[in-house]
Structure 1
Amino acid sequence: MSEADDFIAWVNSSLRQAEVALHDGDSAPRRALWSRQEPVSILGAWRNAFGQQEVDEAFAVLETAFSNCTSYTFELQAYDVVGDMAYTAGLEHISTSVDGQPRSYTLRVTQVYRREDGEWRVAHRHADTVAE
């Protein structure tokens, strides 16, 4: 497998599982895949965060809001791997409960990754809601 194939396999397995867990109310798998090195940032559909403390706070808020994920798919539209950096751009189609109320929505998401100690880590996420 090529480096790009390995990266996409990680996106479709570990990263996907972490996103499903988050939308089911468990942020631990997502936290485990995020970089512990600065800078880290989120420009989010719900809130922005800059630095480890704010990113951790954002994950805590999301974890308490989400539950009962019934569907999560990531429609990859573009990606690249260059050395120890990579990015993905695509659409997340999600059905989950938000504050106990079932919701389905699509987010347009771009993420930046860096390889740390041989493992991919998320360093930046930008997401916004796609208008219906």
Structure 2
Amino acid sequence: MTANDDFQAWVKSTLYQAELALHNGDSAPRRAIWSRNEPVSILGAWRNAYGQEQVDETFDFLERSFSNCTSYAFELQAHDVTGDMAYTVGLEHTSASVDGQPRNYTLRVTQVYRREDGEWKVAHRHADTVIE
């Protein structure tokens, strides 16, 4: 298996499952795949965060906000792996409750990853809402 194949398999399994769990109100799997090394950052659809403390606070906020995910799909549009760095670009199509209200939305998402101790970790996320 090539590094690219290995990364794609991780995106389709571990990353996917972490995002699905988050949209059901469980941030633990997402926290597990995020880097604990600085720098980390989020330029989010609802909230920005710079540094580990703010990223953790954002995950707390999202965990309280999301529930009842009925559909989550990640449409990978581009990616690359170079050594211990990688990125993805894609669309996240989600149906979940946000603050108790059912919502359907699509986010454009770019993420940057670092391989740390042999495992992929998210170091940066940028997401914005696609207006249809």
| Deviation at residue 65 of structure 1 after TM alignment | 0.4
Unaligned segments of structure 2, at least 5 residues: none
| Deviation at residue 6 of structure 1 after TM alignment | 0.4
Q: Which amino acid aligns with 1:27?
A: S
Unaligned segments of structure 1, at least 5 residues: none
Q: Secondary structure at the match of 2:76?
A: strand
- Distance in 1, matches of 2:116 and 2:98, equals 33
Is 1:129 the equivalent of 2:129? yes
2:74 aligns with: 74
1:1-132 equivalences under 5 Å are 1-132=1-132
Q: Which amino acid aligns with 1:2?
A: T
Q: Secondary structure at the match of 1:24?
A: coil
RMSD between superposed Cα atoms in Å = 0.3
Q: Secondary structure at the match of 1:89?
A: strand
- Distance in 2, matches of 1:76 and 1:116, equals 23
* TM-score for the superposition, normalised by structure 1: 0.99
- Distance in 2, matches of 1:81 and 1:31, equals 22
- Distance in 2, matches of 1:39 and 1:99, equals 30
- Distance in 2, matches of 1:67 and 1:112, equals 26
- Distance in 2, matches of 1:41 and 1:8, equals 22
- Distance in 2, matches of 1:48 and 1:100, equals 22
